[in-house]
Amino acid sequence: MSREFLSGNEAFAFGVRLARPQVISAYPITPQTIVVERLAEMVEDGSLTAEFVHVESEHSALSCAMGASAVGARTFTATSSQGLLYMAECLNYVSGGRHPVVMMNANRSIALPWNIYGDQRDSLALLESGWIQAYAQDAQEALDMALLAYRVAEDPRVSTPFMANLDGFHLTHTYEVVEVPEQAEADAFLPRFETENKMSESVPKNLAFTAGPDHNTAFLYKQHEAMRRAADVIAESEGEFAEIFGRGYTGLVETLHTEDADTILVTLGSAAALAGEVCGKLRAAGEKTGLLRIRYMRPFPAAEIVRAVAGAKVVAVLEKDISFGFEGVVFTNINSALKQAGADVRTVNYVGGFGGRFISESDIARIYREAYREAGAAAKDGQRVRFIGATA
């Protein structure tokens, strides 16, 4: 193990190198560029043996990764924002073909208005594309997520692509201390990629298939079940990860003081670390606050969320996206989970952090206090969603 001072992009590149991908295809876009630049340097200096393919677009980047995966190679690509949207068609090709491509997405705003800074409107707009979606909180988790991503995606019970999300700039461009594991440890955790789902001369099979009305539903059902199984494989893989690397993770969600909390904030990504600090300060001042960090949006942690928040007086969901005219998609997902479980807890939605606007300590403290004051109140029409930092 070595102790390095790395940005989130660099940490993820170190994690990818430890995973020994055989094909990397990429097209640069801010704030993702550094992760693929570092990997290109690693291929150049011989510390990573991989085919690095410069492609002419994001659509080609993911198509190339899919093609390589379809002959049994471990593959990596990365993108952000407009690039992810340009890939949208390919996302479903990869997941429907059950190719375990791993991709890093640097979360960034979507034009218009043009903006290169962070929010989560890009990845959350593509929740339905059949990819596992994870959100890192810091650079260490980013590195570790690269290794876990391959392990989970390639597991034959899952065989589903993995999108690792890092908040643009706040994670991708911020330097911090990261423990980088030894290659031997990574090799012990992550075996060589072997799959039956590949083109083969000895065992010919049809990939990129057509399925008409008779069979289409069965394919989608199998894909759905595989995504559901991913939850168990994530837990199992994190258990082994902790044994080998000495760092534990908590599955689809991470909770803080939720057991006896009246007011629980739910959020995802790098804002959760500051939310945890605010939660602790409010606790120290006698307020019964809690925090739930969503680590995975797909598979969605419905049962974990219900278990953690059903006993609260109010749940505030803070997210960096908006389905215009309705609410944030994380909020929609959480309300569905609560309703299905028969949990009767008041929920309120805060959206913000758009286009790189920083969600500050005072923003978070205000959300906790405002949500608590309104715990018993009925939802007022027109106040369904509160925008942080908006001026009418």
Partner 1 sequence: MIEISWFGRGGQGAFTAARLLANAYVLKGGERYALAFPTFGPERRGAPVRAFSKLSESRIADRGEIERSDFAVFLDDSLFDAGAPPVLKEGGRVIVNTSKSYDGDTVVTIDAAGIAQRTLGLPIVNTVLIGAIAALSPALAPDEIDLSIERNMPERLWAGNKAAVRAALDAAGGAA
Q: Binding mask 273-292 vs partner 1 (x if CB under 8 A, - otherwise)?
A: xx-xx---------------
The answer to the question of residue 177 lying near partner 1 (CB under 8 A) is yes
- Per CB under 8 A, does 174 bind partner 1? yes
Kindly indicate which of the ranges 147-155, 213-221, 353-361, 365-373 contains the residues binding partner 1, using the contact rule CB under 8 A. 353-361
Minimum CB distance to partner 1 smaller for 236 or for 277: 277
- 162's enclosing H/E stretch is strand 162-167
Residue 298 touches partner 1, criterion: CB under 8 A:
no
CB of 30 to partner 1, least distance (A): 8
Please give the Cα distance from 28 to 44 (Å, whole number). 17
Contact 147, 18 (CB under 8 A): yes
User: Does 193 contact partner 1 by CB under 8 A?
Assistant: no
Q: How far does CA 75 lie from the centroid of its chain?
A: 18
| Residue in 129, 270, 289, 333 binding partner 1, rule: CB under 8 A | 270
CA pair distance 343, 330, nearest whole angstrom:
17
Task: Put residue 355 in one of left, alpha, beta given phi > 0 → left and psi -120 to 50 → alpha.
Answer: left
Nearest CA-CA partner of 101 in 135, 61, 137, 128: 61
For 71, phi and psi rounded to 5 degrees?
Answer: -105, 10
Q: Is 264 in the site for partner 1 (CB under 8 A)?
A: no
- The pair of structure tokens assigned to 279 is 């939660």
* Residue among 173 and 320 whose Cβ is closer to partner 1: 173
Q: Provide, rounded to whole angstroms, the least separation between the CB of residue 130 and partner 1.
A: 31
Residue in 93, 98, 125, 128 with CA at minimum distance from that of residue 111: 125
User: Does 387 sit near partner 1 (CB under 8 A)?
Assistant: no
Q: Which of residues 54-83 bind partner 1 (CB under 8 A)?
A: none
Task: Name which of 41, 37, 38, 15 is nearest 27 in CA terms.
Answer: 37
**Do 124 and 167 meet the contact criterion of CB atoms below 8 Å apart?**
no
Closer of 67 and 276 to partner 1 (Cβ): 276
Does 31 interact with partner 1 (rule: CB under 8 A)?
yes
Q: Give the footprint of partner 1 on this chain (CB under 8 A).
A: 3, 5, 30-31, 116-117, 169-170, 173-177, 270, 273-274, 276-277, 356, 358, 360-361
